[in-house]
Structure 1
Amino acid sequence: MSKIDHYIHAATRQNTRRSYQSAIHHFEVTWGGFLPATANSVARYLTDYADTLSINTLKQRLAALAQWHMDQGFPDPTKAPVIKKVLKGIKELHPVQEKQAKPLQLEALAQLERWMDQTLSVAHEQDDQKAILALLRNKALVLTGFWRGFRSDELSRLRIENIQVTPNQGMTIYLPRSKGDRQNQGQTFKAPALSRLCPVTAYQDWLAATFLSEGPVFRRIDRWGKLADQALNPNSITTLLRKLFRDAGLVDFNCYSSHSLRRGFATWANTNQWDIKALMEYVGWKDIHSAMRYIESADTFAKYRIESALQSRASE
């Protein structure tokens, strides 16, 4: 690989490269298409999977095909007017409600922490080192993810050397890159030290138990309780959280995902009268539409507002 190719390769995120490779494989091998493709063949590909793949998946496949043609120096068939019309028709004939992760409410977070602390006490009594490590790691991961509104990929990329703790105040976290940092300039986040549900204390307890001084913060733990050198895979965090929530007795644990931490914090902040600008700055959103997708109103059915108006009319 030349130095130019090396930097071009680095410009595309690893997850994006994998998903694009999978999409091209699906078009060529699974469907039997030919590259370079024509607008007509891409349109037929879309219609063949219109009733089995979501519109977002189809758009991702189109993005992969577009990128392949640009990289190879061929005209991009996905920009043809017929593709736009086919996509519009698929949306009309196959409408699908967007699924969103259930936000982790503060009460559920407190229930989870109580369960982890109780289970941790039992693990200490039984000298179960594997359980101790897993519980300490998971507690730090959940509390840090919630109070900072981190995505799963951001949690997996946290490194000890990029975190500075100021006793009784908080910790400063530097992320060299993240999904919202399109220019790869790096972002600095601050997490507060709290009187309860404290992410800083949980982080310090995790480091004290592992004696870690550098490298990934959140790592895999094997069946024998040995700590890996590699970070947790971002795709494994949803499975980890659902098992944790199930064991803690949270209702509808399968409705949660790694986005539940981010949505949970955004909903909590909105309920506690954070203005949208402050919330966007804290979490790192650049687009207000992205921010609003994460916020769930405390009065979901508008019951409080309607009942208040009805009672006001009745008293008049």
Structure 2
Amino acid sequence: MTKLDQYLEAAVRDNTRQSYASAIRHFEIDWGGFLPATADSIARYLAHHAETHSVNTLQQRLAALAQWHIEQGFPDPTKAPVVRKTFRGIRALHLSQEKQAKPLLFDQIEQVAQRLNNAVLDARRRCNRGDELRHLRDRSFLLLGFWRGFRGDELTRLLVEHVEVVPGQGMICYFPISKGDRQNEGSTFRAPALSRLCPVDAFVTWITAAQLTQGPAYRGIDRWGHVSDRGLHSDSVIPLLRAMLGEAAIPDADCYSAHSLRRGFASWATSNGWDLKTLMEYVGWKNVQSAIRYIDAGDPFARHRIESQIQSTLVDDAARPRKLR
């Protein structure tokens, strides 16, 4: 591989490269399309999968096909009128509400963390190092993910050498590459030291017990307590999180996903008076639309707000002097 090839490859993120490669395989192998493709074949491909794939998935497939043609020096057939019109028709007939991750609420975080604390003590009594390490890892994963509003994939990419702990104050997490960092300048996030449910104490306790000094912060652990050299795979985050919730008796544990920690923190923050600008700066959102998608209002039906206004009106009416007839 030449230097030029290395720079070109580095310009595209690994997850984007993988998703685009998967889309091309789906078009060629699963559907039986030919590359380079014609506009008519792509329109037929969209129509064939309109009822089984979401609009977002089809849009990603189009982006992958467009990128393939551009890189190979062919005209981009996805810009043809027949493809654009087909896609508009699919959006009109198959538009559905975007599914969002269920937020993990503060009380639920507290419940899961307490269960993990108890599990750590029980594992120590049984001299089961594997279980002890798993519970310590899971507690750190949960608390850092919630209080920093991290996505699951961000936690799997966090490196120990990129974390700086400031005793009594907090910790600094550095990511050389992150989703919102389009210029690859690196992103820094600060997590606070707290009096309870502290993400800093949980992180230090975990890496100290696991004797980690560099490499992925969150890793697999076998039954004998051996910590893997590799970090957790992003696909393992959802099963890991749901297992934690299920063991803590959180209802509907299977309804939560890797984004539940971020949505939970965003909902907690807005319910406790954080304005949107402050929340965006803390989490790292670059635009309002991204932030709004994650926020669940503390009073989603506005019931408490309306009730308080009704009661206020009743009090004012009762206090107002009545005219004698």
Q: Which category describes the TM-score, using the shorter chain as reference length?
A: over 0.9
Q: Which residue of 1 aligns with 2:154?
A: 154
Task: Give a deviation string over 1:96-147, Cα, whole Å, max 9, x none.
Answer: 2211111111000000111111111111100111100000001111111111
Amino acid at match of 2:286: K
TM-score, normalising length from structure 2? 0.95
**Equivalences for residues 25-174 of structure 1 within 5 A:** 25-174=25-174
Asked if structure 1 preserves the Cα contact closer than 8 Å seen for 2:131 and 2:223, the reply is no
Name 1:278's counterpart in structure 2. Answer: 278
In the alignment, residue 270 of structure 2 is paired with which amino acid? N
Specify every segment of 5 or more residues in structure 2 that has no aligned partner in the other structure, as ranges. 318-325
Paired residue type of 2:161: E
User: Partner residue of 1:10?
Assistant: 10
CA distance in structure 1 between the aligned counterparts of 2:63 and 2:36, rounded to whole angstroms = 14
> 1:193-245 deviations in whole A, cap 9, x for unaligned?
00001000001100221111111110111233211111111121111000110
Listed one character per residue, the Cα deviations across residues 21-67 of structure 1 (whole Å, up to 9, x for unaligned) are 11111111111111111111111100000000110110010011011
Residue 82 of structure 1, CA deviation: 2.2
Give the unaligned 5+ runs of structure 1: none
Moved over 6 A (4+): none
> What SS does the corresponding residue of 1:174 show, helix, strand or coil?
strand
1:292 counterpart residue number: 292
Within 2, Cα distance between the matches of 1:75 and 1:314? 69
Q: Which moved more, 1:187-196 or 1:83-92?
A: 83-92
Aligned length: 316
CA distance in 2, matches of 1:186, 1:125: 43
In structure 2, how many angstroms separate the alpha carbons of the residues matched to 1:89 and 1:313? 49
Aligned to 2:251: 251
Query: Could you state the TM-score of these two structures normalised by the residue count of structure 1?
Result: 0.97
- For residues 173 and 24 of structure 2, the distance between their equivalents in structure 1, rounded to whole angstroms, comes to 37
Alpha-carbon distance between aligned partners in 2 of 1:156 and 1:31, rounded to the nearest angstrom: 33
* Corresponding residue for residue 191 of structure 1: 191
How far did 1:307 drift? 2.0
Over aligned residues, Cα RMSD in angstroms? 1.1
1:152 and 1:235 in contact (8 A); partners too: no
Alpha-carbon distance, 1:309 to partner = 3.2
Sequence identity percentage: 56
Task: Report deviation, 1:312.
Answer: 3.7
Point out the more displaced range, 304-313 or 23-32: 304-313
Number of the residue aligned with 1:304:
304
- Say whether residues 1:263 and 2:263 are aligned partners: yes
User: Contact 1:217/1:231 (CA < 8 Å) preserved in 2?
Assistant: yes
State the SS of the aligned residue for 1:189.
strand
1:234 corresponds in structure 2 to 234
Q: C-alpha separation between the residues in 2 aligned to 1:222 and 1:183? A: 38
1:311 CA displacement: 3.0
Residue deviations 1:139-185 (CA, integer Å, cap 9, x gap): 11111111111112211111111111111111111111100111110
**Match of residue 24 from structure 1:** 24
Deviates further, 6-15 or 39-48: 6-15
User: Equivalents in 2 of 1:250, 1:204: separation in Å?
Assistant: 26
Indicate if the aligned counterparts of 2:101 and 2:260 stay in contact, CA closer than 8 A.
Answer: yes
* SS of residue matched to 2:43: helix
What is the letter of the counterpart of residue 299 of structure 1? D
Measured after TM superposition, the shift of residue 313 of structure 1 is 4.1
Distance in 1 of aligned mates of 2:106 and 2:312: 31
Deviates further, 304-313 or 131-140 = 304-313
Q: CA deviation at 1:11?
A: 1.3
Aligned partners of 1:292, 1:74: CA distance in 2, in Å? 39
Q: Secondary structure at the residue paired with 2:201?
A: helix
Find the counterpart in structure 1 of residue 200 from structure 2: 200
C-alpha separation in 2, matches of 1:200 and 1:71? 45
**Could you tell me how far apart the structure 1 residues matched to 2:210 and 2:310 are?**
58
SS at match of 1:188: strand
Distance 2:301 2:177 in 1: 38
Partner SS, residue 150 of structure 2: coil
> Cα offset for 1:255?
1.1
8 Å Cα contact 2:152-2:237 kept in structure 1: yes
